[in-house]
Amino acid sequence: MPLSYDKNKVRILLLEGISPTARAVLKSAGYTNIEEYPKALAGNDLIEKLAGVRVLGIRSTTQLSKDALESADKLMVVGCFCIGTNQVDLGMALTCGIPVFNAPFANTRSVAELAISSIIALMRRTPEKNLALHRGIWTKSAKGSREVRGKTLGIVGYGNIGTQLSVLAEHLGMNVYYYDIEKKLPLGNTRPISTFHELLQISDVVSLHVPETSGTKNMIGAKEIALMKPGACLINYSRGKVVDIEALAEALKSGHLAGAAIDVFPKEPKSKDEEFVSPLRGLDNALLSPHVGGSTEEAQEAIGIEVADKIVRYIDNGSTTGAVNFPHVALPQHPGAYRILNIHKNIPGVLGQLNAVFAEAKANVAGQFLQTNTEIGYVVTDIAGVGDPEIFRAALKTIPGSIRTRILH
């Protein structure tokens, strides 16, 4: 069934050098009217560019403010081709009836792989050996250099990354334990530990994979480090504020911790023009990276595919599964029926009025799907037995609280 509009007329704007995989997915779904920019746009430049745009793809730099969203009267869907969505005024997008999609898991494997590489590097003390050689010092010695096989890895936060890491670490012969505040199904031979402190005490390497919350802020401080085995290693590829960086620097200087691999910092430079300042600078047993745990070409490609797929499913079918600000509706195909998608304010009586419109036209409602959140309702109705569903458009617009209606036919 064709859409109620020509797919080639759907204007798509992709900013910030989004992976070509996104274009490929959109094109193969029939959406060819795609304009791409390598950089972010801001202020009036963004507002002007948004005129007539129905699909917007951004990464983390473009700030999609209330003003920008309000001015984009044709905008139907936003894809954040990244993990975070703080750059979008999600509340305003919701009020405008615009679902926002992202790719929360596409870089999971990249982080887990880098953590594995760091576990081995720290246990072998190669960061220090590397720096010594750069200074002309030949430190050929086995002292303090250990295999990972048979050692204990303690994972804090057994979510997407924590579970992937556990699978990879087990393949290296590590004994893996995890601590999580939620009950999680252990994979392979990995075992849960009931207290965080116990995990710290038994682990040769502790790897942090928790979100930034009030409960995780400084969850590794001087007290927790003291509980860790002498000579243990710490990995933080989660969020900078999870570790008290001063306390970590002290433990690395004193040698209580043999090494640490840190990718995220409480204070990170906004660009390469800003200096990186940290008490970890100059410590040879600190393996530092500039928040690149999830930054690989594969992750960028996967993000392009995942977000573009979600956009296509929303425009073609109405499915909102995975939207960060919108009620989730997973929809079947609708052969032989027109699909009418209505987004409305979540106020009493809208559904009744909507169905009254269909009843009056003697339309056969073949299926109806409704999801609401505190602010909006999203109702999808499959209609058969009417000649032209466009007859409903004007009537649905007059229902108080109706924000927008789309018709797929």
Catalytically annotated residues: 239, 268, 291
- Quick check: 115 binds ligand NAI (CB under 6 A)? no
Residue 111 in the binding site for ligand NAI (CB under 6 A) = yes
Minimum CB distance to ligand NAI smaller for 71 or for 289:
289
Distances 13 to 34, 37, 38, 51, 375 between C-alpha atoms, Å: 6, 8, 11, 10, 28
Q: In 9-52, which ranges are continuous DSSP H helix?
A: 20-28, 43-50
Q: Which residue is nearest to ligand NAI (CB)?
A: 159
Q: What are phi and psi of 93, to 5 degrees?
A: -60, -40
Q: For ligand NAI, how many residues bind (rule: CB under 6 A)?
A: 31
Asked if 306 is part of the footprint of ligand NAI (rule: CB under 6 A), the reply reads no
Instruction: Find tokens 């505190």 and name the residue.
Output: 374
Taking the C-alpha atoms of residue 18 and residue 27, their distance in angstroms, rounded to an integer, is 14
Q: Which is nearer to ligand NAI, 4 or 60 (CB)?
A: 60
Q: State the Cα–Cα distance between residues 88 and 67, nearest whole angstrom.
A: 11
3-state SS assignment for residue 334: coil
Number of H helices, E strands in the chain: 13, 16
For residues 160 and 218, which CB has a smaller minimum distance to ligand NAI in the complex? Answer: 160
Using rule CB under 6 A, residue 106 touches ligand NAI: no
Among 21, 152, 216, 317, binds ligand NAI (CB under 6 A): 216
The correct pick among 215, 336, 348, 352 for binding ligand NAI (CB under 6 A) is: 215
DSSP assignment of 82-141:
SS--TTB-HHHHHHTT--EE--TTTTHHHHHHHHHHHHHHHHHTHHHHHHHHHTT-----
Query: Measured from the CB of residue 288, what is the shortest distance to ligand NAI in angstroms?
Result: 12
Smallest separation, CB 206 to ligand NAI (Å): 12
CB of 261 or CB of 340, closer to ligand NAI = 261
Binding site for ligand NAI (CB under 6 A): 83, 107-108, 111, 156-162, 179-182, 184, 209-213, 215-216, 237-239, 263-264, 291, 293-294
